[in-house]
Chain A
């Protein structure tokens, strides 16, 4: 999900033929996602990865990558896939508190994540759309060091923007 002190390495995220950085491709006016960007996963908060995996097993979901930990964000996670959108299960790690509002509030849907073709353009567009950045761009353990950033949109939807893969 976020910063990875270990630096780039194998990605726990399933290989989804990651987008390649295409250069500049600013989003059309009023839109956040540059052309060619795509939905990557739905983030789902749970008390434990085991609990989350067990709960989604009934819907046909199974692990699609190795579990990972993100000490900066204070979460552990694992991607699961099934007959529906890819899901990133996230659970608190140690004293991590980032998921607590969702776990305590009863809404476990945490965020929608998009792999964008132009990370910087998407950051600017998200801010221009009134989004509030909730965490600064940082390398993510879940994506082998590619940067991610989170924005809360005025519609009260948290989105994650994922940097494209190296060209």
Chain B
């Protein structure tokens, strides 16, 4: 998957989970998205794991606080 493809896939997952385009547009984050609570975090984790056929460690999940964080962790796992 190309970098653009990876980022598009992550954006699609965030928009599907959160229902609306998350904020801020350039780097959606938990800090700026009220609906991105602990329950939504698990939903996003499950969606990412299912989409990319991988499993995050607890430490990785704790760091998935924004679009950029997610893309960075996925790249570290050789996705994209």
Find out whether the CB atom of A154 lies under 8 angstroms from the CB atom of B46. yes
A132 at the interface (CB under 8 A from B): yes
Interface residues in A110-143 (C-beta closer than 8 Å to B): 130, 132-134
Pairs of residues from A and B, 5 with the lowest C-beta to C-beta distance, nearest first? A101-B39, A101-B37, A152-B42, A132-B42, A154-B46
A51 at the interface (CB under 8 A from B): no
Give the B-binding residues of A (Cβ under 8 A).
100-102, 105, 130, 132-134, 152, 154, 156
Main secondary structure of the interface of B (DSSP, over half): helix
Find out whether the CB atom of A100 lies under 8 angstroms from the CB atom of B37. yes
The number of residue pairs between A and B whose CB atoms lie closer than 8 Å in the complex comes to: 22
Chain B residues in 8 Å Cβ range of A154: 46, 50
A38 CB → nearest B CB, Å: 26
A65 CB → nearest B CB, Å: 27
B31 at the interface (CB under 8 A from A): no
Chain B residues in 8 Å Cβ range of A105: 39
Contact with A along B16-31 (1 / 0, CB 8 A): 0000000000000000
- Of all chain A residues, the one with the shortest Cβ separation from B40 is A101
A154 to B53, CA, bound (A): 13
Find out whether the CB atom of A101 lies under 8 angstroms from the CB atom of B46. no
B38 at the interface (CB under 8 A from A): yes
Find out whether the CB atom of B42 lies under 8 angstroms from the CB atom of A102. no
B53 CB → nearest A CB, Å: 12
Find out whether the CB atom of B42 lies under 8 angstroms from the CB atom of A134. yes
A156 to B50, CA, bound (A): 13
Chain B residues in 8 Å Cβ range of A101: 37-40
Find out whether the CB atom of A132 lies under 8 angstroms from the CB atom of B45. yes
Find out whether the CB atom of B37 lies under 8 angstroms from the CB atom of A156. no
